[in-house]
Amino acid sequence: MNNSLDSTQRIKNLDKASKEDFDLIVIGGGITGSGIAFDAATRGMKVLLLEKQDFAAGTSSRSTKLIHGGLRYLKEMEFNLVRQVGKERAILYKNASYLVHPEKLLLPIYKSGSLGYYSTSLALWVYDLLAGVQKKESRIMLSAKKTSSTEPLLSTKGLLGAGMYYEYRTDDARLTLEVLKTAVSYSAQAYNYTQVTDFIATEGQITGVETTDLLNNTTYRFTAKHVVNATGPWVDELRKKNSEDLNKHLFLTKGVHLVFSHLRVPLKHSMYFDTPDRRMVFAIKREGKVYLGTTDTEYHASNENPICTKEDKEYLLNAVNKMFTSLNLQPTDIESSWAGLRPLIHEQGKSPSEVSRKDEIFIAQNGLISIAGGKLTAFRKMAQKIIDKIQATEKRFGSCKTSHIPLIGSLGFAAKGYEMLTDKLPVYTLKFQEQKNLIRLVHSYGNASFEMMDKATDDLSLIYAEIAYCINNESLEHLADYYSRRSGKMLFSSNELLENQSEILAHFVMLKGLSETQIAKEKELIEQLKTEALGSL
Ligand code: FAD
């Protein structure tokens, strides 16, 4: 089978693809584009996906990393949306339990806050009902006394109690990669670092795209019957290139997250709490860290690599220090941070937090289909909507099947659940010292993680096995892309950016056969990564 995610075959595969005819070209390798490729490929379409950066380098690695039940939509009375995302969450949990983990959240209620005890109790009850939450995960309400014993970090002054409910935690970039790999296992082709620079039209209808392979500076033309623009914050840039009238357009807002050691923010539970300006902020526990976010501010600078500013940090530190008065967190406590852009649809007179998170589809006269807005959580349903539109014009493709298809890392155990995977871990615990790495691998790659553990003999060779797997199966082009999106180490294990750095780089150089100039570029990219995640702290 042609595995387009094997980066050792990249040039050969790209050359070949440029001579084929596709049913569908998807522009954008975030969760929206990957979901569309997944839906289309599983219906039997011949699909090509093109991404100008690394896969998931846009918003899809910069979210709060939650598969939401949509509590926020309840406030805006969007009942159908709550119902829909609740259902999507259950489907994803069934199909990718290695990637999606139930997380209990505490919702503290204060006399001076924006939430009332009884209204929160009712809202969480309605939410459970609409989202179809399982009985064992139904909300419970806690008294003030029970709340302080459950979470001693909370100040008792004015504390009325708390709600406890469930969200599901994921890794957004890993989810995107696993969806994409599943699409490729159904014969889709996907290439990163391939920028769409123009559209090709025949008799007024889009029939393909012109691209630049940014790694080799080569131009390719690809042809297809349908082209979808799923470029998130870049959607309008491509619509402009397609000479579309943008009377409905994007409104970008920036959201920032800060990461702290769990030792410095020793929360017993993840939390969702209100801020002095009556917004809501998450504090999520993950891998010995706690991350906090998010902000929501209008954004007008460059879409590539948005950064966390001093003001963003001050806003979040102020919110967290008001909620946990004993912590007194300082900027020097921040271990890493990230910033992402929400591709929202502009609504006249609404503030960033008020604008709806709904997705919207635009179809141009020449047939270019664009999709923007939406959520990570709703990716499967967004993809279904797009491919249903195409299928309506081409009946030979079947209906959507993705709700029944396990993601690639769950093959062989999906029906029995994720415990079956972790049950296998004790076999490996003697070989490796860092047990948390084994869990991270299972949570990232599912059953493919055992292939890495089988090959490795110690902790360092396990990293080598992971990198080799990513080169052969996940189009790993730069070592920096391993530290950021493949492994998440940049954000949640930033000390590892410095550990064994020269040995790991030397191994990567050997596997890829890089020249001196390319080695210098790899070093530069790792330095850039450090500056982005750790630099201005
Ligand atoms: P992107 O991920 O940005 O993908 C678009 C891709 O297109 C990019 O990778 C880009 O490089 C590529 N591209 C652009 N131009 C070109 C071109 N010319 N050629 C080729 N490729 C191109 N949702 C949830 O469900 N749960 C959450 O907890 C959550 N939290 C969030 C927190 C924040 C701060 C933000 C900003 C969003 C959050 N969201 C959340 C929403 C969710 O992250 C987004 O809806 C989703 O990631 C958007 O994905 P996308 O694929 O549409 O865009």
- Mind listing the pLDDT tens digit for each residue in 119-162? 899 989 988 888 888 889 999 999 999 999 999 999 999 999 99
* Predicted local distance difference test score (pLDDT) of residue 349: 73
- CATH code for the domain in which residue 474 is found: 1.10.8.870
Same domain? For 390 and 501 the reply is no
Contact criterion met (CB below 8 Å) for 194 and 50: yes
Domain housing 162: 99-169+250-345
Q: Which of 25, 53, 60, 179 should be mutated for ligand 1, with most atoms under 8 A from CB? A: 60
Is residue 454 located within the same domain as residue 514? yes
Q: Tell me, in angstroms, the distance from the centre of ligand 1 to residue 58's CA.
A: 5
CATH classification at residue 299: 3.30.9.10
Nearest-atom number in ligand 1 for the CA of 34 is: 51
Q: Which residues contact 375 (CB under 8 A, 6 or more apart)?
A: 68, 85, 357, 359
Tens of pLDDT, residue by residue over 288-302, are 999 999 999 999 999
pLDDT at 81: 83
Do 242 and 276 belong together in one domain? no
First-to-last alpha carbon distance for the chain, in angstroms, is 46
Rounded CA separation 336/307 (Å): 11
Ligand 1 atom at minimal distance to the Cα of residue 194: 20
Rounded to the nearest 10 degrees, what angle do helices 79-95 and 379-393 cross at? Answer: 100
What lines the ligand 1 site, CB under 6 Å? 27-33, 50-53, 57-60, 62-66, 68, 195-196, 230-234, 238, 255, 294, 340-343, 374-377
Q: Hey, what are 66's tokens?
A: 């939650």
Query: CATH no. for residue 210?
Result: 3.50.50.60
Residue 308 Cα to ligand 1 middle (Å):
17
For atom 35 of ligand 1, the residue with the nearest CA is 63
Number of domains present in the structure of the chain: 3
Which residue CA neighbors atom 41 of ligand 1 most closely? 375
Residue closest by Cα to atom 43 of ligand 1: 63
**How remote is the CA of residue 199 from the centroid of ligand 1, in Å?**
22
One domain, residues 215 and 363: yes
Query: Does residue 287 lie within any of the structural domains?
Result: yes
If asked whether residues 165 and 181 sit together in one domain, one would say: no
Query: Six-digit token pair at 427?
Result: 């076999």
Output the CA 252–ligand 1 centroid distance in Å: 11
How far, in Å, from the CA of 82 to the mean position of ligand 1?
Answer: 21
Distance 401 CA to ligand 1 centre (A): 24
Counting atoms of ligand 1 from 1, which one is nearest the CA of 254?
36
Atom of ligand 1 nearest to the CA of 65: 28
Q: Are 322 and 354 in contact (CB under 8 A)?
A: no
pLDDT at 537: 47
Considering the domain architecture, whether residues 389 and 452 belong to the same structural domain is answered as: no
Q: Which of 317, 345, 373 is the last residue of a domain?
A: 345
Which protein residue has the closest C-alpha to ligand 1 atom 53? 232
pTM: 0.97
Whether 155 and 262 map to the same domain: the answer is yes
Report how far residue 59's alpha carbon sits from residue 257's, in angstroms, rounded to the nearest whole number. Answer: 13
Q: Do 243 and 259 fall into the same domain? A: no
Are 283 and 432 within one domain?
A: no
Q: What is the pLDDT of residues 31-46, one digit of tens each?
A: 999 999 999 999 999 9
Last residue of a domain, one of 345, 368, 390: 345
What is the Cα–Cα distance from 263 to 459, expressed in whole angstroms? 24
Q: Which helix (H) or strand (E) holds 253?
A: strand 250-261
The pLDDT assigned to 1 comes to 53
pLDDT value of residue 386: 98
pLDDT less than 70: residues of the chain: 1-2, 415, 535-537
CA 51–ligand 1 middle distance (angstroms): 12
Answer yes or no: is 2 within a domain: no
Does the residue 73 lie in any domain?
no
Distance between CA 479 and CA 510 in Å, rounded? 12
Q: Which H/E stretch holds residue 353? A: none
In a domain, 441, yes or no: yes
**What does the alpha-carbon distance between residue 232 and residue 180 come to, in Å, rounded to a whole number?**
16
- 474 found inside a domain: yes
